[in-house]
Amino acid sequence: MSARVPGYRGPEVPVEVWEQHEMRTALASREISAVYRLLRKHGVSQRQIAAMTGQSQSEVSEILRGRQVTAYDLLRDIADGLGVPRGYMGLAYDEATAIRVVSPFDDEQVEDDERVRREFLAHAAEVTMGAAVNGPEQFPDDEGILEKPQVGLSGVSSAPAPRRPVAQASKQAIGWVSRVLPTVDRERYLEECLGELDDLAQSRHPLRVQLSYVLGLASRVLALRFALRGSDAETWEQAG
Amino acid sequence: MTMPTLLVLYVLIEDPDREMYGLQICQTAGLPSGTIHPILARLEKTGWLTSRWEEIDTREEGRPRRRYYRLNPNSLAKVRAALHRAEPAVKALGQFRPGRAGGVS
């Protein structure tokens, strides 16, 4: 995957190729194997495909022989590398905010749960212990952080993309954390925080930002409890 | 008043009529994700802030409703005064140099 030459776009695939019915069908169902075969038909060599997508030639040839591509990151790299509009593959790109993941296919959701759990825990370890448990490539740019606040986006939603669900693990964590809060306030903060998590789930690195959020919340939940109970708010304020 | 609280007030006072939700304030203030609610809660208890649920049809919008915060119009003078009082401290902060381990506290 690292063979990709920065800035290299390879031979431009004529736009009309992406518009053909067969191609659109293959893209929509994310049959990368079929996509590559169609490209070959249009005279694009394996080597050229590899150069465009940043894959190795052997990977391309495996895919041509039928290997399935399901990993979101790879699909995204392939779409971007080939210059396919992301929407054609159900990978929407929203410039106003961040990259949103649109997953019209249920099977991805199934795969998601297990993976989410694993990555979430791995990243938790990374954050809390300062060690890259799963290798640094798992969470590439820790600076990407929080995408711009999605202010006034309600107007954009005329053709709403399906929203990515909040990771189960985040929900659970928020549930635990909220137990520290006074009972009367618990529901409100659960709703408020889950709403914010839902926002974060739409970001480019949903797991990472959700995790930072949950950790941040957990680290301040006692302060929140004090603030809500009010009685010792003053002394707490002094202590900061 | 703590520095994070100041930052939150700075964000809100910029446009006192504007409503913002927690995540948005947090990001604008540059505070660590998820750490803003105690500050908001405290300010609300003090009466400087008010909050309300966003009135949307969540089904139609396809997202949960947000909790919106804004400065209490009746407290603007107090908030301004507090920020004014804090100014020297904020300025002094700009003069800190990285020092020995253990720092300046």
- Would the pLDDT of B38 be above 90? yes
Name residues whose C-beta falls within 8 Å of residue A101's C-beta, 6 or more positions apart in sequence.
Answer: A72, A91, A92, A164, A202, A206
Q: Name every chain B residue with its beta carbon within 8 A of the beta carbon of A150.
A: 24
Handedness of CA A195, A198, A203, A205 (dihedral sign): positive
What the block records as the tokens of A157 is 């939603």
What is the nearest CA distance from A22 to chain B, expressed in angstroms? 32
Tens-digit pLDDT profile for residues A67-111: 888 888 888 888 888 888 777 887 765 443 333 343 444 445 555
Distance of CA A147 to the CA centre of its chain: 12
pTM: 0.52
Q: Is A191 on the interface with B (CB under 8 A)?
A: yes
Looking at beta carbons, which residues of chain A come within 8 Å of B55?
A: none
| Subunit contact A219:B35, Cβ cutoff 8 A | yes
B-proximal residues of A, 142-171, CB under 8 Å = 145-146, 148-151, 154, 157, 160, 162-163
Task: Classify burial at B80, counting beta carbons within 10 Å of its beta carbon; exposed 0-12, middle 13-18, buried 19 or more.
Answer: middle
What SS3 state is found at A198?
A: helix
Q: Distance from B34 to chain A by nearest Cα, in Å?
A: 4
Tokens, residue A94: 């929203």
B-chain residues near A160 (CB < 8 A): 61-62
List CB contacts (< 8 A) between A193 and chain B: 34, 37
As a whole number, mean pLDDT of residues A27-50 equals 90
Q: What is the pLDDT of residues A211-223, one digit of tens each?
A: 999 999 999 999 9
Inter-chain touch B38–A198, beta carbons under 8 Å? no
More confident residue, A60 or A112: A60
Statement: residue A231 has pLDDT above 60: no
- The pLDDT, as a whole number, for residue B55 is 94
Closest partner CB to A151 (pick from B24, B35, B56): B24
Task: Tell me which residue has tokens 């005064």.
Answer: B81
On whether any CB of chain A is under 8 Å from the CB of B89, the answer is: no
Strands B49-53 and B67-71: antiparallel
Residue B17 pLDDT more than 50? yes
Q: Mark yes or no for CB contact A157/B21 under 8 Å.
A: no
A154–B56 C-beta distance less than 8 A: yes
Does the beta carbon of A127 lie under 8 angstroms from any beta carbon of chain B?
A: no
Q: List, for residues A26-36, the tens digit of each pLDDT value.
A: 888 888 999 99
